[in-house]
Amino acid sequence: MATSSTADVIRIHSHGGPEQMKFETIDLSPPDAGQVQLRQTAVGLNFIDVYTRTGLYPGPTPAVLGVEAAGVIEAVGEGVEGLKVGDRVVYNGLPGSYASRRNAPAEKMVLIPDAVSDEDAAAVFLKGLTVWMLTFEIRRIQPGETIVVWAAAGGVGSILVPWANAQGARVIGVVSTPEKAELATAYGCWETILAGEDVAARVKQLNGGKGVPVVYDSVGKTSAEASLKSLAPRGWFITYGNASGPADPIAPARLNQGGSLIMTRPGLFHFTHQRADLERGAAALWGAMRSGAVKADVRQRFALKDAAEAHRALEGRKTIGATILKP
């Protein structure tokens, strides 16, 4: 039976900037029934953590930030089946991941394959499942079609671009700097466009004068209109992030004017709420990693105590690929 212990965490007591993030030590009780206790080895950094910190995604405070991590099971609560002490697991969608150790529901844990490291699992699990949602669940990519991916050198982009390529797409990546254009090309973009250009005009120029069937937009406020103008009639505007702030409201008539466009604002956890869906998505991701279509590209590592510095880098668009916090 596990005894009570402590955990180091990053906690906010009110919403706001990175300065609200405090490195604290809290008491950790033994796991309850249905829970496991984890020693966390790698914590994933995601834009959703910023939205939680600022209050864009409202929630109570005080709160431990983060929704994704990998670790090793140290103790198992009553009634837990299929998991044991020593198993390596990864999870997402569970608030409170910025921690050295934690208790968490066993039903949210996914075993990490032997061929995947803890760090790689934490780097790709939320982002990889997001790509699975975007390209398999919402709308299947059609081989031979040209698509547009914003932030093509970012965390999700580093997985979305190569996985879309593996599904037969031709990817136009939109990036913020020439350096990121080089990285997006390395990930597999056919062409890149700088966000400061007339993106819609360049998309159509590259695509034989026509719009594209789908745009994957994680930028939000500053990119939405360019995304809509880049689409062909009956095209899909999949807006799934707010890196520049939330997109302004879009009138239904605007979708009609663009050619009966389809708009959706998905959230991953609606697609992995059921255990069977989570397992299906995880199996697709592990398969894509096994085939080489998806690789973890960890470019930044911060100590857990330096999580505020990591947030500043992420918000300042200073990060490329994936970022990991090390407890």
CATH number at residue 149: 3.40.50.720
| Cβ-contact 303, 325 below 8 angstroms | yes
Would residue 162 count as lying in a domain?
A: yes
Would residue 78 count as lying in a domain?
A: yes
Residue 228, domain extent: 126-268
- Beta-carbon contacts of 306 under 8 Å, excluding residues fewer than 6 positions away, are none
pLDDT of residue 4: 63
Would residue 157 count as lying in a domain?
A: yes
Number of C-alpha atoms within 13 angstroms, CB side, residue 314? 30
- DSSP class of residue 283? H
Would residue 285 count as lying in a domain?
A: no
What CATH number corresponds to the domain at position 107? 3.90.180.10
Would residue 283 count as lying in a domain?
A: no
Would residue 287 count as lying in a domain?
A: no
**Average pLDDT of span 161-176:** 97
| Cβ-contact 24, 9 below 8 angstroms | yes
Residues 112 and 17 in one domain: yes
Integer angstrom CA distances of residue 288 from 281, 285, 292: 11, 5, 6
Residues 148 and 257 in one domain: yes
Residues 130 and 53 in one domain: no
Residues 150 and 260 in one domain: yes
| Total tally of structural domains belonging to the chain | 2
Residues 54 and 137 in one domain: no
Q: How confident is the model at residue 297 (pLDDT cuts 50, 70, 90)?
A: confident
Residues 80 and 214 in one domain: no
Residues 223 and 183 in one domain: yes
Residues 24 and 154 in one domain: no
Residues 49 and 141 in one domain: no
Residues 87 and 113 in one domain: yes
pLDDT in tens, 212-268: 999 999 998 999 999 999 999 999 999 998 878 888 999 999 999 999 999 999 999
95 vs 52: CA distance, rounded Å = 10
pLDDT in tens, 80-131: 999 999 999 999 989 999 999 999 999 999 999 999 999 999 999 999 999 9
Question: Residue for token digits 């919402």?
Answer: 138
210 vs 217: CA distance, rounded Å = 19
Would residue 136 count as lying in a domain?
A: yes
